[in-house]
């Protein structure tokens, strides 16, 4: 019983760490996209791939982030 509980918590920790990593990677990728678009001087535009099938909330967040402050 106790061993099972230990393995469960270990799995949970591993899972949450993985989620954090993927979240950070995604944010870095978003930042990279913003940098490149800002440097090229292009208007507000998101890559075709995100417009086609991606999560609309992420696309919306990208648009908000791309607006110059």
In the chain, the N- to C-terminal Cα span, in Å, equals: 55
Number of structural domains, the chain? 1
The pTM for the full model equals 0.23
Question: For residue 14, what pLDDT is reported?
Answer: 64
Query: pLDDT tens digits for 18-62?
Result: 666 676 677 776 666 655 555 555 545 555 555 555 566 666 676
Cβ atoms 34, 65 nearer than 8 A: yes
Domain that holds residue 52: 1-65
């Amino acid at each position: 019983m106790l061993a099972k509980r230990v393995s469960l918590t270990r799995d949970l920790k591993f899972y949450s760490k993985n989620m954090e990593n993927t979240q950070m990677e995604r944010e870095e990728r978003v930042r990279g996209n913003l940098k490149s678009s800002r440097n090229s001087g292009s208007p507000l535009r998101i890559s075709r791939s995100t417009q086609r099938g991606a999560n609309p909330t992420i696309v919306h967040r990208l648009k908000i982030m791309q607006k110059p402050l």
